[in-house]
Structure 1
């Protein structure tokens, strides 16, 4: 049996509450949601994370994220959304099949803004820019 839980969902071996599916992408409700409507969007083909994923597949996934965000805004009345993607163990990825989280937000959802919990770092922005610019 395939060890990847998301691949097993695509293969219909594991159950899921699917909210969108096409030839290349599937979206289903998270079993342990942060908010009502918390959804995972995955490519049907297995990619560990963004590092080993091709650009065309990434574009297909993000197009579905956009479609669902617009749908959720209309049907669920969300006034905000967090789009989250974690890559690699150092990036806190725990399921090693590329996925994007859609976390609907509302004014009184009581979710702690995660960015406020992260300490800021002092950095020389010019040196980082130089390292990252294309040759």
Structure 2
């Protein structure tokens, strides 16, 4: 457990939480902030600051938990949609430095998570291809499609 991490305290059951799911590697619990009722956090039990520290086994378990929780929220709340999001680092808006995914029920026109502060650009194919070529050498596994 990382010192002072609220999610590690929740995992250890040293802090209160309303759990909805738990397995060997992950837990899911109701977020204390509810824009729409049903906002759930899915976290690995191991303290990982963000997705860049995630290993394959924990990643597979985490994604399985996210899928399971997403289906459960959708079924239980009959919402019109679901947003699943993850932020990595302070510049991206990560508030708790323990990897977590938000599962949030959505309704038409709720304006939650309006992503772009202004309309995004549409670079030409050569620019996009150059960007892809600059990223590929940094991949640890897999190859370009």
Q: TM-score range by the shorter chain?
A: 0.7 to 0.9
What is the aligned partner in structure 2 of residue 60 from structure 1?
Answer: 61
Alpha-carbon RMSD across the aligned residues, in angstroms, is 2.0
Taking structure 1 as the reference length, the TM-score comes to 0.88
Structure 1 residues 45 and 112: CA distance shift in structure 2, 3 A: closer
Q: Distance in 2 between matches of 1:39 and 1:58?
A: 18
> How many residue pairs get matched?
134
Conserved in 2, the CA contact under 8 Å of 1:2 and 1:8? no
Q: Distance in 1 between matches of 2:105 and 2:118?
A: 21
| 3-state SS of 2:115 partner | helix
Q: Distance in 2 between matches of 1:113 and 1:96?
A: 20
CA-CA distance at 1:20 after TM superposition: 0.8
Q: Distance in 2 between matches of 1:55 and 1:100?
A: 16
Q: Choose 121-130 or 16-25, whichever is displaced more.
A: 121-130
What is the aligned partner in structure 2 of residue 131 from structure 1?
Answer: 134
Q: Distance in 2 between matches of 1:11 and 1:74?
A: 29
Taking structure 2 as the reference length, the TM-score comes to 0.82
Q: Would you identify which runs of 4 or more consecutive aligned residues in structure 1 move more than 4 Å?
A: none
CA-CA distance at 1:113 after TM superposition: 4.6
For structure 1, the residue ranges without an aligned partner over 5 or more in a row are none
Deviations 1:51-86 (A, max 9, x none): 111121111111011011111222110221111100
